Structure formats: C-alpha cells, structure tokens
Amino acid sequence: MSRLFHTRNKIYNTVARQLHGTVPCWVCGEHVLPEAATLEHIKPLSEGGNSHAENLAISHELCNNQRHVLGRSPASAVSAGRVGRRADAAPINKPRL
C-alpha cells in the first residue's frame, strides 16, 4: 500500500473520531464513506500548495475532480481543513505571556 493511502486513512480516521463518525466532504459538505474518500489539496500544488497535513482535506472523488475541472474553491477554503466554530461560541481569551 502506498504512503498516500496511509495518509488518507489516517486523516479520515482522525476526522471521524473528532466528529463522532461523520466525515464531511471538504467540497460539498456531505458525508464521505471510507471507500469513496480522496485526499484534496486545499491550496493546489500548482498554486504553491504542499502535501503537509494542514493542506489536505477529505473529499469525494467526484467532488475533487469537478473542483479542478471548474477551477473553484469551496467557501470552506477560508478555514483550510478546519471545522468552523459555532457563531454563538464564546471567544477564547488566552493570557498574554
């Protein structure tokens, strides 16, 4: 098995654990089954992105392919690979050192 396969499974399992079994597609937001999961570069390699975990997200294979054909980034690109906070959540005040 390839290194990319292991990376995809590791990211998928991490997201599933954090979101209690639900892994949303980074492009469409629908649940992605493990066998349909692909790794998506949030900032494409052609635009200077890299293959570090911070620049990778899970998406459906079809969504991944359509995104590249259409040349569009989803609205979640603002918060690359991170689950957004609820709007009503109180801000975290960290003490300055």
Please report, for the chain, how many H helices and E strands are present, in that order: 2, 2
Please, what is the average pLDDT of the chain? 74
Task: Select the highest-mean-pLDDT range: 30-34, 43-47, 74-78.
Answer: 30-34
How remote is the C-alpha of 82 from its chain's centroid?
7
Q: Is 27 helix (H, G, I), strand (E, B) or coil?
A: coil
Q: What is the pLDDT of residues 37-47, one digit of tens each?
A: 988 888 888 88
Please give the domain boundaries of the chain with CATH numbers for all domains: 3-79 (1.10.30)
pLDDT at position 70 is 61
pLDDT at position 84 is 41
pLDDT at position 30 is 92
